[in-house]
Amino acid sequence: MTAVVWNLDRSYSSPSGEIRWAALGPADAPPVVLVHGTPFSSYVWRGPARALAARHRVYVWDLPGYGASAKHPGQDLSLDAQARVLADLLDHWGLAEPAVVAHDFGGAIALRALLLHGARYSRLALVDPVAIAPWGSPTYRLLGEHSDVFRQLPADLHEALVHRYISSGSHQGLHPDTHTRLVEPWLTEAGKDSFYRQIEQNDQRFTDDIQGRYGELDLPVLVCWGAEDTWIPVARAHELVKLIPGAELRIVEGAGHLVQVDAPAELTVALREFLRTAG
């Protein structure tokens, strides 16, 4: 990877399709795995990933059905399937207990992998995660309940919908190049199908069945939240830290849901401090 190109140059064949991934930083440095959410890709992590790679081996990947990873009809894109893929990837990479940093849906994925699928982490940072009920905006629920109808949208209307949806994740406003890079994977026929598929396959049951177990977490946990998040209100951050023993909370002022894009420097500093205290 260069300062200009974000290229996931490696692949892994998972039960949910081919996963594209890459690793940054010294091979013998402490490992950190970054997990993105919806409707994004690992591209949202590019700034923090490069900064963290000065002291860590940073693993980035696109979830099945997202970004550069495989998209195909009938694909299981549910949060549980994604959690199983994460656990499998850790085995594939030979990582026994890496640090994990997870955003949005990535939070639910990382938590499910840990609590249900045998994954082990040295520590866990959750950035504006989907983790506690209730979640899912009226728009999100509408898309999921009527996905077959929305799949029939003409290409230009589908593109406009995706543009608006992704842009609303940022409080600062996305740079045009960033906006384009995040939207592009959803504009092919396969991407359009995956966009609605991942919404229709996910609902609150995937966090309902683990939320009662957050008190079992026995590792260092950092919760970071954008103060201006309009997707998941910052009040959820305060609720979440009460459920996790010893969890630390960082509120990032001036940032929306896409904290790593709105305030990459502030988030990176918080992550570096959290990771530096690893035993």
Which is it for the CA torsion 168, 253, 124, 248, positive or negative? negative
* pLDDT bucket at 277, cuts 50 / 70 / 90: low
Residue 268: CB atoms within 10 A of its CB come to 17
Cis omega (within 30 of 0) for bond into 134: yes
Backbone angles phi, psi at 13, to 5 degrees: -90, 110
Round to whole Å and give the CA distance between 76 and 74: 6
- Nearest-angstrom CA–CA distance, 230 and 247: 23
- Per-residue pLDDT reduced to its tens digit, 76-135: 999 999 999 999 999 999 999 999 999 999 999 999 999 999 999 999 999 999 999 999
Distance CA 60, CA 114 (A): 18
Q: What is the H or E stretch that residue 208 is in?
A: helix 205-211
Q: For the residues 39-58, what does the mean pLDDT come to?
A: 97
Give the predicted TM-score (pTM) of the model. Answer: 0.96
Question: In whole angstroms, what is the distance from residue 279 CA to residue 276 CA?
Answer: 8
What CA–CA distance (Å, rounded) separates 178 from 195?
A: 18
Segment 189-206, tens digit of pLDDT: 999 999 999 999 998 999
CA 120 to each of CA 103, 113, 265: distance values in angstroms, whole numbers, following the listed order: 18, 8, 28
- Using the structure block, give the residue that is written with the tokens 């230009």: 156
pLDDT at residue 177, as a whole number: 93
Contact 199, 143 (CB under 8 A): yes
Tokens of 101: 């940093």
**Distance between terminal CA atoms of the chain?**
29
DSSP 170: -
Q: If you average pLDDT over every residue of the chain, what do you get?
A: 95
Q: Are 99 and 33 in contact (CB under 8 A)?
A: yes
Residues 6+ apart with CB under 8 A from 276: none
Q: Please answer whether residues 186 and 195 qualify as being in contact, where contact means their C-beta atoms are separated by less than 8 angstroms.
A: yes
